[in-house]
Each structure stands twice: as C-alpha cells, then as structure tokens.
Amino acid sequence: MNLMNQDSYQTMLAEVQNFHDKHQLKKYGGEELNYRVALMAEELGEISACVTKGKSTELLAEECADLLILLMGTAIAKEFDLNQAFWNKMAKLEQRSSKMVDGRIRVSEFRD
Ligand SMILES: [Mg+2]
C-alpha cells in the first residue's frame, strides 16, 4: 500500500477493479450501464446538495470522489480507457474558445 504511486491512474484503476472483484459487481449486475448511470446521477445529486446546503469542502471532496470512483468503474464495466479518453478530450478542449454567457465564462464550440 505504501509503495504504490497514488498519483497514477493505473494504481487508482486497479483499486477500483479490486473493489469490483471483492463485491463481484460484474456477476451481480453492478456493472450494468443503466444501473451505473443511476448511481452516478445519485452522486451528482449529493455533490449538488453539498453546494446548495453549504456543506464543507471536505464533504464535497468525498462526494466528488464517489463520482470519480463510479466513472472509473464504468470504464471497467464498458471496457474503455478513461485515461486515454481524458487526454483525447483535453486536447479537443484546448482548441476551443471561450466567451462570457450570462456573466460566466463558457468554453464551447459555439456552433450557432
Ligand atoms: Mg456519495
């Protein structure tokens, strides 16, 4: 545990895989996409509640971690490389422009 690189995506993914294996998520429906989408929506709601109810940043971080773990688990379930998807998407985002929309900065393709 102490020797692993906690900044490594692969180390994090292996830990999530261990969690899936421990609870046999694949065998018992825990990797079904529609179920996982519901779980991710649930966690997003918890993140939202942290903000609207003025909860601590510590609790906000925990709820964000819940969502991240579910996202990584979804990458396991659907067998895609989320690390690569992250870098591919960041490369796209870096090409986009930003503008102010209703007083807030927005980065988008602004097609229309
Ligand atoms: Mg939560």
What is the mean predicted confidence (pLDDT) over 47-61? Answer: 98
Main-chain dihedrals φ then ψ at residue 98, nearest 5 degrees: -125, 155
Note whether residue 101 is domain-resident: no
Note whether residue 62 is domain-resident: yes
Question: What does the pLDDT read at residue 4?
Answer: 82
How remote is the CA of residue 84 from the centroid of ligand 1, in Å? 26
How remote is the CA of residue 73 from the centroid of ligand 1, in Å? 15
Would you place residue 1 in the very low, low, confident or very high pLDDT band (cuts 50, 70, 90)?
Answer: low
Q: What is the spatial distance between Cα 8 and Cα 10, in angstroms, rounded to a whole number?
A: 5
Domain count, the chain: 1
Question: What does the pLDDT read at residue 3?
Answer: 72
Nearest CA-CA partner of 9 in 87, 93, 67, 63: 87
Strand extents, DSSP E, the chain: 97-101, 104-108
Note whether residue 50 is domain-resident: yes
Is-above-0.85 flag for pTM? yes
Range of the domain at 37: 9-80
Which residue has 């993914």 as its token pair? Answer: 13
How remote is the CA of residue 47 from the centroid of ligand 1, in Å? 8
Rounding to the nearest 10 degrees, give the CA dihedral for residues 61, 62, 66, 71: 20
Q: What is the spatial distance between Cα 96 and Cα 104, in angstroms, rounded to a whole number?
A: 16
Note whether residue 111 is domain-resident: no
Q: Are strands 97-101 and 104-108 parallel, antiparallel or unpaired?
A: antiparallel
Question: Is the model's pLDDT at 10 over the cut of 60?
Answer: yes
How remote is the CA of residue 78 from the centroid of ligand 1, in Å? 22
